[in-house]
Amino acid sequence: MRYNAGEIITAMITPFKKDLSVDYVALEKLVNHLIETGTDSILVAGTTGETPTLTHEEEREIFKFVKKIVNGRVKIVMGAGSNSTATAVDSSIKAKELGADAILSVVPYYNKPSQKGMYEHFAAIAKAVDLPIILYNIPGRTGVNMQPATIAKLANEFKNIVAVKQSNADLDLISDIRSMCPSDFAIYSGDDSLTIPMMALGAHGVISVASHVVGKQMKEMITAFKAGKNADALKIHLELFPLFKKLFMAPNPVPVKATLAHLGIINEDVRQPLVTLDADEKKELFSVVDKYSF
C-alpha cells in the first residue's frame, strides 16, 4: 500500500461543553477510548467532527491537542477539504505544518464541479503538499459523484493520492475503482454497514462512525474476514447491523453523540443547526444500543 492508515479510521466527533465550547477533558477521554477499542487512525476535523460549525482555528487547536494525547500510538488524519480549491490547498499545507500523517479531502460540495473540475481540484492539492491524500466521495452531501475514471486518473498520476473514502452504496463502483486503480491504492468504505460488502470487492477497511461505540467488535469482524473466516465475519456484521443503521437515524453525528453520552463518555451537545435527539428518539436509539455489551 502507498500509505497504510490501518483498517479502522475513526471519524472522530468533537465533544462540546454545555456552552458549546470544545470540551478538551472529554476529548482526551474519547481519544484514549478509541485507541483502546481498536481504532488504527483518528480522523480529526471530518464532517462527523462538525466541521461546518468549527472555525479553522478550532480545528487546528483540536488537532494539536489530539496529537499530544495520541503521542504516536496511532496515526492522525486531518480533514482538509473545502469547496474552494485555494482554501483546500491552504488547509492541506497547514495540516502538513501541524504534523498530520495524512489528510482527507472531500469532493467540492454545493458548487457541483464537473469531473474535470474535480480532477483539477485534487491535482492542485496533490501538487501543493506531499502528504498522503485520501479522497472523499460522498454524493449525498456534495451533490455530485466522483466517477471511478476520475479517481483512477488521480490515483495513477499522483503517488501521494493514496486512497478513497467511498460513501456511495453502489457496489458496482467499487468494482470499477478496484479494477481501474493501481493495486497499492486503498479503498475505504464510508458507511459502516457496507464495510464487509466493500471489502469483498477489494476495499481495505472503513472510515467509521460506529467504531466510537463498537470498535472492538468491528476489529474482530474485519480480522475474521481477512483471515478467510467469512461466516464469522458475517455473524458479527449481522449482529452490528441494527446499530449501524440506528446511528444514522438522525443527521450524523447526533445519534453517535447521544450514544456516547448514554455510555458516560461525553456530553451529547451539538452545535446548531444540528439539534439533539428528543426523548422518543433516544428511547428508540437506546433500545438498540442497550442490546450490546461494551
pLDDT at residue number 161: 98
Q: Who contacts 97 (Cβ-Cβ below 8 Å, separation ≥6)?
A: none
Neighbours of 21 (CB within 10 A): 10
pLDDT at residue number 52: 96
pLDDT at residue number 224: 98
CA–CA gap between residue 219 and residue 176 (Å, rounded): 26
Strand partners, 11: 43
Catalytic residues: 136, 165
Average pLDDT over the chain, rounded to an integer: 98
pLDDT digits (tens, 9 = 90+) for 65-84: 999 999 999 999 999 999 99
* pLDDT bracket for residue 223 (50, 70, 90): very high
- Give the gyration radius of the chain's Cα atoms: 18
Q: What is the mean pLDDT of residues 269-289?
A: 98
Distance in Å from the first CA to the final CA of the chain: 33
CA–CA gap between residue 155 and residue 6 (Å, rounded): 19
CATH topology of domain 8-229: TIM Barrel (3.20.20)
CA atoms 283, 285, 287, 291: torsion sign: negative
In the chain, the amino acid numbered 55 is T
pLDDT at residue number 160: 98
pLDDT at residue number 173: 98
pLDDT digits (tens, 9 = 90+) for 169-207: 999 999 999 999 999 999 999 999 999 999 999 999 999
Q: What is the mean pLDDT of residues 9-15?
A: 98
pLDDT digits (tens, 9 = 90+) for 16-74: 999 999 999 999 999 999 999 999 999 999 999 999 999 999 999 999 999 999 999 99
Neighbours of 196 (CB within 10 A): 23
CA–CA gap between residue 181 and residue 166 (Å, rounded): 14
Neighbours of 83 (CB within 10 A): 16
Cα 243 to Cα 72, 198, 287: the distances in Å are 31, 18, 10
Is-contact 258 17, C-beta < 8 A? Answer: no
Closest CA to 61 of 42, 44, 36, 43: 44
pLDDT digits (tens, 9 = 90+) for 152-178: 999 999 999 999 999 999 999 999 999
pLDDT at residue number 278: 98
How far is Cα of residue 149 from the mean position of the Cα atoms in its chain?
23
Assigned C-alpha cell, 144: 455530485
pLDDT digits (tens, 9 = 90+) for 99-139: 999 999 999 999 999 999 999 999 999 999 999 999 999 99
pLDDT at residue number 150: 98
The domain locations on the chain are 8-229
pLDDT at residue number 237: 98
Question: Residue 2 above 80 pLDDT?
Answer: yes
pLDDT at residue number 275: 98
* pLDDT bracket for residue 293 (50, 70, 90): confident
The pTM for the full model equals: 0.97
Assigned C-alpha cell, 262: 448514554
pLDDT at residue number 204: 98
